[in-house]
A = this chain, B = another copy of it.
């Protein structure tokens, strides 16, 4: 969790890690192999999940020896960082008339990106924030700056909006169970039906309009901001 983050003994080329955004036009050649690795890693993650990403398997898919990877990449950790970041690329900046639509669009796009690559959400908690995540945060901040939220509340407002897709996607992924698990869950609910009375009554776990609930959640927040104004 904490880990050894001090990568002083990094190979020189590794300045071009997730960390830096500048200077990406120069020396495009060596970066190419790096990109191939990351793209293939994403494919592998899509196909086999986090547990399926193995340096050995990754190398095989690339038709190279395992250790060749380590010239382009310092770690398996770094492969995960890069794969996560690749998948979270923000949308090209669309200009909407009103800031409300802009916020909704940004958050829905983010959620959609994560749902397209369900492993990404499980990597979110333990990875440092990559540049693409930072860019999204920046875009969100800008959109919200037009909303006229009180100065004292604006940061809290940004974080609340930010947390919504994160939480919603995790919830969605962890509550989307195999049919077996679903059946087991139903049985569990039925067994202790007094314990989970409210859940059963509201059909909370069966009413799976995740998209609608997500959208409504954004609206609740935005309405809440308006009221706090």
Contact = CB atoms under 8 A, between A and B. Distances in A.
Interface of A: 1-3, 5-6, 19-22, 48-51, 118-119, 121-122, 124-129, 131, 134-135, 137-138, 141-142, 145, 153-160, 162-168, 170-171, 173-175, 177-178, 180-181, 184-185, 188-189, 191-192, 195-199, 202-204, 207, 209, 212-213, 216-217, 219-228
A48 B174 CA distance: 25
Copies of this chain, tallied across the complex: 2
A223 B228 contact: yes
18 contacts: A1-B49, A122-B126, A125-B125, A135-B195, A138-B199, A153-B216, A155-B204, A156-B212, A156-B213, A156-B220, A163-B164, A166-B167, A167-B167, A167-B170, A219-B228, A221-B221, A224-B224, A224-B227
Given A21-B192, A160-B216, A51 B174 contact: no
A121 B128 contact: no
A168 B127 CA distance: 15
B202 A141 contact: yes
Contact of A5 (B180, B188, B191): B180
B177 A128 contact: yes
A167 B157 contact: no
B19 A184 contact: yes
A158 B158 CA distance: 21
A159 B215 CA distance: 11
Contacts of A165: 167
A115 to B, nearest CB: 12
Given A49-B2, A128-B181, A177-B128, A154 B222 contact: no
A142 B173 CA distance: 24
Given A145-B198, A173-B125, A223-B227, A164 B154 contact: no
A135 to B, nearest CB: 7
Nearest to A216: B156
Contact of A202 (B158, B192, B217, B223): B158
Nearest to A199: B138
